[in-house]
Amino acid sequence: MSLVAEHLVRLLRERLPADASADLNAYAARAAALDDDRSAEVKRAYVCARWAVDVAAGAHSPVVGVAVRAGEAVKEFGEAVWAELGADVENIVARLFPGKTGAQILGTWVGVGGTEQAPGTGASPLVGPEIAWVLEAVEVAERVAERGGWDAVPWRRLVDDVLSE
């Protein structure tokens, strides 16, 4: 199961009006069918971050600040970890930080003290940055909904795009 897709659907379910329940049930079933391939999870998370930037910029509101943060996170994470280090995080961390694991080092980037789980995610700290992008997207969705209602939020497009990765 894709942690990124599952978290997105769960977080939206907690916030969307009850009449979206049928759509969310169908999305949850699709999310459960996805695998948790690392590169696919990063792509799904990137979709969330990009969506947050695009939607917030289109809202022309205080949401733009959230979009800027999400955009900076996308750039930093892509450049600092995946673009430079690739998927071989454990070997790189072992060379740069003797005695530490990738989970310990990457976890500190998202405020994780231990190596078991990122707070509130049910996921290892290695997926913490991806889950942070999901949270950013949901935060943008909430802010846009506060100003124009949930009908103003293209949340179905977000979920469809995440589930197609």
Distance between CA 58 and CA 76 in Å, rounded?
23
Chain segment 27-53, per-residue pLDDT in tens: 999 999 998 887 888 889 889 988 988
For every residue of 33-67, DSSP letters joined together read HS---HHHHHHHHHHHHHHHHHHHHHHTSTHHHHH
Chain segment 80-131, per-residue pLDDT in tens: 554 444 445 556 656 666 776 655 555 444 433 343 444 444 444 445 678 8
Q: What is the pLDDT of residue 127?
A: 54
Torsions phi, psi for 114 (to 5 deg): -100, -175
Q: For 84-107, what is the HEC assignment?
A: HHCCCHHHHHHHHCCCCCHHHHHH
* 128: Cβ contacts below 8 Å, ≥ 6 apart: 106, 107, 109, 110, 112, 118, 121
Q: What is the pLDDT of residue 72?
A: 64
Nearest-Å Rg of the Cα atoms of the chain is: 16
Distance between CA 31 and CA 6 in Å, rounded?
6
Distance between CA 5 and CA 46 in Å, rounded?
12
Q: What is the pLDDT of residue 83?
A: 44
- pTM, two decimals, is 0.64
Q: What is the pLDDT of residue 128?
A: 66
Chain segment 57-71, per-residue pLDDT in tens: 776 555 556 666 666
Average pLDDT in the 1-30 region? 92
Distance between CA 93 and CA 91 in Å, rounded?
5
**How does residue 149 score in pLDDT terms, banded at 50, 70 and 90?**
very high
**How does residue 162 score in pLDDT terms, banded at 50, 70 and 90?**
very high
Could you state, in order of their start, the residue ranges of all structural domains in the chain? 3-163
Average pLDDT in the 1-26 region? 92
Stronger pLDDT, 144 or 84, i.e. the higher one: 144
